[in-house]
Amino acid sequence: MKRLLPLLVAWCSLAFAGGEEIYRFTPSDIHFLERFSLQALPPLPPAPDNGVADDPRAAALGHRLFFDTRLSANGQVACASCHQPQKYFTDGLPRSRALGITRRNAPTILGAGHSPWLFWDGRKDSLWSQALGPLQDPGEHGLAPLEVAQLIRRYYRGEFEQVFGDSAGLDRLPKRSGGRLSRRQRAVLNRVLSRVGKSIMAYERRLQLRPARFDRFVAQLQRDSGDRGALATLMTEGEVAGMRLFMGRANCASCHNGPLFTNYEFHNIGAPEPDPAQVDLGRYGGVAALEKDGFTCLSPWSDAGAEDCLEMRFLKKQGPELVGAFKTPTLRNVAHTAPYMQSGQLATLEQVLAHYNNPTPPYYDREQHPSRPHFDILPLGLSEEQMGQVIAFLETLTSPLSEDDPLWRAPE
Amino acid sequence: MQPRFIVLTAALLLPTPLFADESPSRSLMALGGEMLRSAEGLQAESVTAIRHGNSLRKTLNQLRVKLRSLPEGEERAALGETIDLFAGEIPRWQQQAASLRERGLSERQRALALLEVGYREIWQPHIRLSGPLQLDGSDSLTSGHNARIRSVHPSKLNMNVVPGDGATPADMSLAVPAASGQNIPGELDLRSFQISRELAVFAHVEPETGNSRVPLNEIHSWKLMLSRLDGEPLGDAEIEIEGHMPGHVHGLPTQPRVTGEVEPGVYRVQGVKFQMTGWWVMTFKVSAGPLDDAVTFNIRL
């Protein structure tokens, strides 16, 4: 038996390489893979904190705001500058450029409506609250809150009133920036800002992904898993081998799981520290920011009752695993959203795979880190060929660009 | 058979229960508790026996050293005999220890079974899940009944202990590391009914979801039911919750809390969420007056 074992192993690997076995999927396999298909994408989570989250008029307003460069200090920056539809709502840069250079890489917006936390460090708990970040960031849109409100009054007043039923007190605001605002005026500002965010969120929630080759492959498995020919036209042997590695030995699916290939949780995979002089504390900093944030689900500008804000109420505030941890990004369309990681440190998928195969532990600086960062992955020991197969599989996650979808274009 | 045990068994068979003023299920629990303590006693005796054996072995080794230094003669012969006597004693102590241990373990098993049966009967109106906690949407091989249970025979109680890799269906060709790189012990006790560390509390947990299953990546609530070993609900307890994945140094993504005691001993735990499949350990630290204890549940998602 001892002598037979190597033979058996050799036979198995031959059988796999031969392409006969590689397309053979058992009912349990298919059932497992179904959970990764877009078909299994649940409806968007309810958004009790945003009363207009599913209002088409709010989405139409948000659509215009998203593409409007007038909403910026220099009249040239829109959300769409860094989240470009033809690049799957990213910008192709390691770190984005607008009025300044951002600290991190611009992630896609596709699927973001499913995430409980926004930004790489999850420092926002809703898309509406998230949108207020770039608008006011001096390096992005660079607007003061009053300027946002003045622009709304000037260009969007009618729509704004239509969507929300009133003007939120826009007329009470001073015409010019400068002077001190009363408490009441500041409340008006916050209300206007939150409504701007809520409209943008309504738009973002409507963005949809079309089935990628992987989804069609799973659909074919469901229809007729015995039709090798049909399966082989959807995914090559190498891609299927990559999928088997992704789900199995390479363990990618333990974090990148579900129809969007993310668990939306925070992990430290030891990606190279972008700036050792000022380390990125990731989720640790995100939690601290959430506790101070004036626009969470629990804030007066949210439409939810406190009991509906489960994520905030049960927010995990402590634990070594928060330090330097980042939100698992979606891998949908990942072959077209280079560069990678929170600050675009890795330029190609080859570099990403090389990192996972032989990861460096997270950078640790006793002066800067509150505790030694946690390390969530183990070396994989994949061959060059196998790494290539995983990359090939990632390419099957590319949805066709929805160029004919009006939401993927600037509004007329 | 241990006389103490005969008394206890007889108590079960007597027409009038030993604890006449209590319900039969309460007496079952009380009996279970009693047996659990006796099992502990046996365990302690077994430890003492092992110690005896060990100290004998130490003495024996010293005597052997001494023997080597003695010249042939009477003294040496006498010492030789003593040594033989000692050497004969050691296996006897070892056997004694082993049999005490075995008896302790089996008494513990029976005690837990009685406790569980009694507990299930007392708490039946609240119990919707009798099997282990399971992931929603997974076809695990373990048996999980969502129906309310009427009564369960003690011999069936171990149905929820599944062997190591029970969660991966046999016909899976995808080599899914179901345990996410964890080393899961061969037999993991997945029961949702557990005795506490200090043997003062018997507890059950279950998700408060429509189908009593655990959803992945979704905040949901649990019900935790605490009983003293005499069947009395353990009310007004302070409860601290800790969850982690062994081998991952990983905590829960949220910070669950007890948000209310729905009824004496029935606690609502809100904010539970699991972001990864695999082996999770959930510990509830319980304190109430002088009681300071902890109950742990293994979950395989």
Contact flag A263-B257 (C-beta cutoff 8 Å):
no
Establish whether A297 is an annotated binding residue: no
Select from B135, B136, B176 the residue whose CB has the most chain A CBs within 10 Å, as the one to mutate to test that interface.
Answer: B176
pLDDT per residue as tens digits for the range B252-300: 889 999 999 999 999 999 999 987 778 899 999 999 999 999 999 999 8
Residue of A nearest to B139 (CA): A28
Q: Which bin fits A92, alpha (ψ -120 to 50), beta or left (φ > 0)?
A: left
Mean pLDDT for chain A overall: 93
Distance CA A158, CA A160 (A): 5
Contact flag B253-A316 (C-beta cutoff 8 Å):
yes
| Interchain CB contact of B95 with A (< 8 Å) | no
Q: Which residues in chain A are contacts of B277 at CB distance < 8 A?
A: 254
Residue with tokens 């070892």, as numbered in its chain: B94
As beta bridge partners, residue B272 has B220
Q: Which residues in chain A are contacts of B278 at CB distance < 8 A?
A: 254
Residue with tokens 């960062």, as numbered in its chain: A373
Establish whether A256 is an annotated binding residue: yes
Within B137-290, strands assigned E span 161-163, 187-189, 193-195, 201-207, 220-228, 238-245, 250-251, 257-263, 266-272, 279-288
Q: For residues A92, A93, A95 and A97, what is the CA-based torsion angle, rounded to 10 degrees? A: -100
Q: Which of B176, B180, B255 sits opposite A315 (nearest CB)?
A: B255
pLDDT at A366: 95
Contact flag A251-B177 (C-beta cutoff 8 Å):
yes
Q: Which residues in chain B are contacts of A43 at CB distance < 8 A?
A: none
Taking 90 as the threshold, does the pLDDT of residue A412 lie above it?
Answer: no
Which residue in B193, B160, B180 sits closest to B275, CA to CA? B180
In SS3 terms, chain A reads as CCCHHHHHHHHHHHHHHCCCCCCCCCHHHHHHHHCCCHHHCCCCCCCCCCCCCCCHHHHHHHHHHHHCCCCCCCCCCCHHHHCEHHHCCECCCCCCECCCECCCCCCCCCCHHHCCCECCCCCECCHHHHHHHHHHCCCCCCCCHHHHHHHHHHHCHHHHHHHHCCCCCHHHCCCCCCCCCCHHHHHHHHHHHHHHHHHHHHHHHHCCCCCCHHHHHHHHHHHHCCCHHHHHHHCCHHHHHHHHHHHCCCCHHHCCCCCCCCCCCEECCCCCCCCCCCCCCEHHHHHHHHHHCCCCCCCCCCCCCHHHCHHHHCECCCCHHHCCEEECCCCCCHHHCCCECCCCCECCHHHHHHHHHCCCCCCCCCCCCCCCCCCCCCCCCCCHHHHHHHHHHHHCCCCCCCCCCHHHCCCC
**pLDDT bracket for residue B218 (50, 70, 90):** confident
Taking 80 as the threshold, does the pLDDT of residue B185 lie above it?
Answer: no
Taking 60 as the threshold, does the pLDDT of residue A7 lie above it?
Answer: no
Tell me what the mean pLDDT of segment B75-100 comes to. 92
Q: Whole-prediction pTM value? A: 0.83
pLDDT per residue as tens digits for the range A97-148: 999 999 999 999 999 999 999 999 999 999 999 999 999 999 999 999 999 9
Select from B135, B138, B173 the residue whose CB has the most chain A CBs within 10 Å, as the one to mutate to test that interface.
Answer: B173
Is residue B295 within a helix (H) or strand (E), and if so which, with residue range?
A: strand B291-300
Show me where the domains of chain A are located: 5-44+210-279+318-395, 56-208
Q: Which residues in chain B are contacts of A283 at CB distance < 8 A?
A: none
- CATH number of the domain located at residue range(s) A5-44+210-279+318-395 in this protein: 1.10.760.10
- Residue B217: strand, helix, or coil: coil
pLDDT at B145: 27
pLDDT at B24: 85
The reply to whether A5-44+210-279+318-395 and A56-208 are identical in fold is yes
Give the residue, A15 or B141, on which the prediction is more confident: A15
Establish whether A79 is an annotated binding residue: yes
pLDDT at B138: 55
Taking 50 as the threshold, does the pLDDT of residue B14 lie above it?
Answer: no
Examine residue A339 and say whether the peptide bond preceding it is cis (omega within 30 degrees of 0): yes
Q: Which residues in chain B are contacts of A248 at CB distance < 8 A?
A: 174-177
Contact flag B175-A249 (C-beta cutoff 8 Å):
yes
**pLDDT bracket for residue B151 (50, 70, 90):** very low
Q: Which residues in chain B are contacts of A320 at CB distance < 8 A?
A: 249
Contact flag B172-A378 (C-beta cutoff 8 Å):
no
Chain A positions touching chain B (beta carbons under 8 Å) = 21, 24-29, 31-33, 35, 244, 247-249, 251, 253-255, 258, 263-266, 310-311, 313-321, 374, 376, 378
pLDDT at B201: 96
| CB A218, CB A38: distance < 8 Å | no
| Interchain CB contact of B217 with A (< 8 Å) | yes
Contact flag A314-B257 (C-beta cutoff 8 Å):
yes
In whole angstroms, how large is the CA radius of gyration of chain B?
25
Chain B segment 121-140 residues within 8 A of A by beta carbon are 137, 139
Mean pLDDT for chain B overall: 81
| Interchain CB contact of B278 with A (< 8 Å) | yes
Contact flag B181-A31 (C-beta cutoff 8 Å):
no
pLDDT at A101: 97
- What is the share, in percent, of chain B residues with pLDDT greater than 70? 77
Alpha-carbon distance A371 to nearest alpha carbon in chain B (angstroms): 14
Alpha-carbon distance A316 to nearest alpha carbon in chain B (angstroms): 5
Residue of A nearest to B272 (CA): A314
pLDDT per residue as tens digits for the range A49-76: 999 999 999 999 999 999 999 999 999 9
**pLDDT bracket for residue A163 (50, 70, 90):** very high
Contact flag A28-B248 (C-beta cutoff 8 Å):
no
| CB A255, CB A261: distance < 8 Å | no
Distance CA A48, CA A310 (A): 11
Give the residue, A375 or B174, on which the prediction is more confident: A375
Q: Which residues in chain A are contacts of B182 at CB distance < 8 A?
A: none
Q: Which residues in chain A are contacts of B255 at CB distance < 8 A?
A: 314-318
pLDDT at B249: 53
| CB A50, CB A202: distance < 8 Å | yes
pLDDT per residue as tens digits for the range A327-376: 999 999 999 999 999 999 999 999 999 999 999 999 999 999 999 998 88
Count of A-B CB contacts under 8 Å: 88
B290 DSSP assignment: T
Establish whether A255 is an annotated binding residue: yes
Q: Which of B172, B255, B256 sits opposite A317 (nearest CB)?
A: B255
Alpha-carbon distance B250 to nearest alpha carbon in chain A (angstroms): 7
What is the domain class of A56-208 according to CATH?
A: mainly alpha
Contact flag A314-B174 (C-beta cutoff 8 Å):
no
B54 DSSP assignment: H
Establish whether A114 is an annotated binding residue: no
**pLDDT bracket for residue B156 (50, 70, 90):** very low
**pLDDT bracket for residue B15 (50, 70, 90):** very low
B214 DSSP assignment: B
Residue with tokens 């395989």, as numbered in its chain: B300
Give the residue, A47 or A6, on which the prediction is more confident: A47
Q: Which of A264, A314, A376 sits opposite B255 (nearest CB)?
A: A314
Distance CA A102, CA A108 (A): 15
Give the residue, B14 or B248, on which the prediction is more confident: B248
Taking 80 as the threshold, does the pLDDT of residue A8 lie above it?
Answer: no
